[in-house]
Amino acid sequence: MQNRIHWLDNLRGLCMVAILYDHTETYYIGKNAIITDLYVTDALYLFFIISGYFIYKPNGEVCVKHKMKSILRTLIIPYFIFTTAMAIPKAVANGRELDLIGITTNILTGQASWFVAALAVAEILFISTLKIVKGNIKWMLAVCTTTFIASIWLSTVTSYCFWQIDNALMAMLFLLIGYAYHKYEPNIRNDIKWIVVCLLAFVFLKIYVVRADITLTIWHINISNYVVFAANVVIGCLAIFGLFRNLPSCRMLEWIGKHSLVYYFLCGGVPLLVSKLAAHVGFYYNNSHVRVFVAFAIVLIVSTILTWTIYRYIPFVTGRSRSNRQWIVG
């Protein structure tokens, strides 16, 4: 069983809360009241970076066969189970006609849950490349930079890619950042002064993003300034990783982080259903952000209850067994 790294579980938990909040705003209000480039983009690339962190093995070379089995068990199989189970309820909640052919096509082509599909493909490509170049970081940087450029090109020619290959190619560079961070972690500054400098730089960068009206959207890929985007990723990673390495653990965030896979599959359906129910009982937005937070609290509670139930009674759908409920990532 792989030991948990508590600060990463806390960070993953915070990222998951951010995604849930974003989806609550989208469904409850019909738009985003808080600019998504201030936090949603960061939550998404941090998820990818954390996955890359776990790919690096300090005690030896990554076993490709074992990793491929892990991707199948903890990402691909859960993808098919959850997207199939939630497809019809989501269609009904949205008031759409049941198009079974369309639903099946979306699932089979990796369109039903873009992030999980992109992560699975990105990890497969990353591990394969890592094996070919024998773990050479310089070669990995060259390959992942090339795939990132390819993702930019793909975003300009099509809005549809089989199994999210465009986002997977982009995510390979994020995986490399996490992989390299773990490999060189003992050499990365982690003192309070350095963390404060990084956090201030990150805040000033976000202010610039808002004032300059820069778009940093990862899905669908819509980035208006790639220099700022690169700075946002690097500074954001250093600042937030450094901060969470020094913060005490929060039990709630840590639990959410440990179970983030199911939360992610629920982050579309639960906010949608809660928003529909709120409208049914007359609990409308009415320009009151307090109501958004109430709706979000309900979303978080319902998602947590469902997640606990799934991990408690049917853990096999997440890649766990009843005898081993520790979901291993990486």
Residues 6+ apart with CB under 8 A from 58: 182, 183
E-strand stretches of the chain: 216-217, 222-223
- Which amino acid is located at 121 in the chain? V
CB distance 241 to 269 below 8 Å = no
- Joined tokens for residue 114: 């873009």
- Joined tokens for residue 173: 């560079």
At 27-41, the pLDDT tens digits run: 999 988 888 899 999
pLDDT at 90: 83
Q: From the first residue on, what is the mean pLDDT of each consecutive set of 10 residues in the chain (330 residues)? A: 79 98 95 91 96 91 90 96 91 82 94 95 97 95 97 89 95 98 94 96 97 90 93 97 95 96 94 94 92 97 97 91 47
- Which amino acid is located at 236 in the chain? G
CB distance 319 to 327 below 8 Å = yes
pLDDT at 51: 97
Sign of the four-CA dihedral 273, 121, 47, 261: positive
pLDDT at 321: 63
pLDDT at 325: 47
At 124-178, the pLDDT tens digits run: 999 999 999 999 999 999 999 999 999 999 988 987 899 999 999 999 999 999 9
Number of C-alpha atoms within 13 angstroms, CB side, residue 233? 25
CB distance 317 to 78 below 8 Å = yes
Tell me if the bond preceding 220 is cis, omega within 30° of 0.
Answer: yes
Sign of the four-CA dihedral 255, 260, 265, 267: positive
As a whole number of angstroms, the distance between CA 175 and CA 119 comes to: 9
As a whole number of angstroms, the distance between CA 199 and CA 167 comes to: 27
Cβ-in-10-Å burial (0-12, 13-18, 19+) of 164 comes to buried
